[in-house]
Amino acid sequence: MSLIRADHVSLAYGRQTVLSDVSLAIEPGEIVTLVGPNGSGKSSLVKVLTGQIRPDAGQVRRKPELRLGYVPQKLAIDQSLPMTVLRFLNLPRRRDPEAIRRAAAETGIEGLEQRQVADLSGGQMQRVLLARALLVSPELLILDEPTQGLDQPGEAAFYRHLERLRDSLGCAVFMVSHDLHVVMSASDRVICLNHHVCCEGTPKVVRDAPEYRALFGQGTQGALALYQHDHDHHHHDHEHDHQGHDHA
Ligand SMILES: Nc1ncnc2c1ncn2[C@@H]1O[C@H](COP(=O)(O)OP(=O)(O)OP(=O)(O)O)[C@@H](O)[C@H]1O
Name the residue among 175, 130, 140 with its Cα closest to residue 32.
175
ipTM > 0.95 (yes/no): yes
Q: Per DSSP, what are the bridge partners of residue 17?
A: 12
For ligand 1, whether the C-beta of 178 sits within 6 Å is yes
Q: Is residue 179 part of a domain?
A: yes
The reply to whether 154 and 176 lie within a common domain is: yes
Q: Looking at ligand 1, which residue's alpha carbon is closest to its atom 6? A: 13
pLDDT value of position 160: 85
Q: How many domains does the chain have?
A: 2
pLDDT value of position 1: 85
How close is the Cα of 16 to the center of ligand 1, in Å? 10
Q: Looking at ligand 1, which residue's alpha carbon is closest to its atom 24? A: 38
Q: Looking at ligand 1, which residue's alpha carbon is closest to its atom 3? A: 13
The reply to whether 122 and 39 lie within a common domain is: no
Whole-prediction pTM: 0.84
pLDDT value of position 145: 87
* Alpha carbons 61 and 209: distance in angstroms, whole number: 29
pLDDT value of position 212: 81
Q: Relative to the CA of 14, which ligand 1 atom is closest?
A: 4
* Alpha carbons 190 and 207: distance in angstroms, whole number: 9
What DSSP string describes 55-83? Answer: -SEEEEEE-TT--EEEE-SS--S-TTS--
For ligand 1, whether the C-beta of 38 sits within 6 Å is yes
Q: Is residue 58 part of a domain?
A: yes
43 and 59 Cβ atoms separated by less than 8 Å: no
For ligand 1, whether the C-beta of 123 sits within 6 Å is no
Q: Is residue 246 part of a domain?
A: no
For ligand 1, whether the C-beta of 36 sits within 6 Å is yes
pLDDT value of position 186: 78
pLDDT value of position 230: 43
Name the residue among 69, 33, 240, 64 with its Cα closest to residue 171.
69
The reply to whether 130 and 220 lie within a common domain is: no
Phi/psi for 247 (5° steps) reads -100, 10
How close is the Cα of 76 to the center of ligand 1, in Å? 17
Q: Is residue 238 part of a domain?
A: no
* Alpha carbons 10 and 51: distance in angstroms, whole number: 14
Could you state, in chain order, the average pLDDT of each consecutive group of 10 residues for the chain (248 residues)?
96 97 97 91 95 96 96 75 92 91 92 93 89 94 86 82 90 85 78 93 85 71 43 43 40
Decide which of 137, 157, 184 is a domain's last residue: 137
Q: Looking at ligand 1, which residue's alpha carbon is closest to its atom 17? A: 43
pLDDT value of position 75: 73
Q: Is residue 107 part of a domain?
A: yes
Ligand 1 pocket test, candidate residues 10, 11, 13, most atoms within 8 A of CB: 13
Secondary structure letter of residue 118 according to DSSP: G
Q: Is residue 112 part of a domain?
A: yes
pLDDT value of position 112: 95
Q: Looking at ligand 1, which residue's alpha carbon is closest to its atom 16? A: 41
Question: Pairing relation of β-strands 57-62 and 68-71?
Answer: unpaired
The reply to whether 105 and 55 lie within a common domain is: no
- For 210, the domain range is 1-67+140-231
Which distant-in-sequence residues (6+ apart) come within 8 Å of 96 by Cβ? Answer: none
The reply to whether 153 and 37 lie within a common domain is: yes
CATH number at residue 170: 3.40.50.300
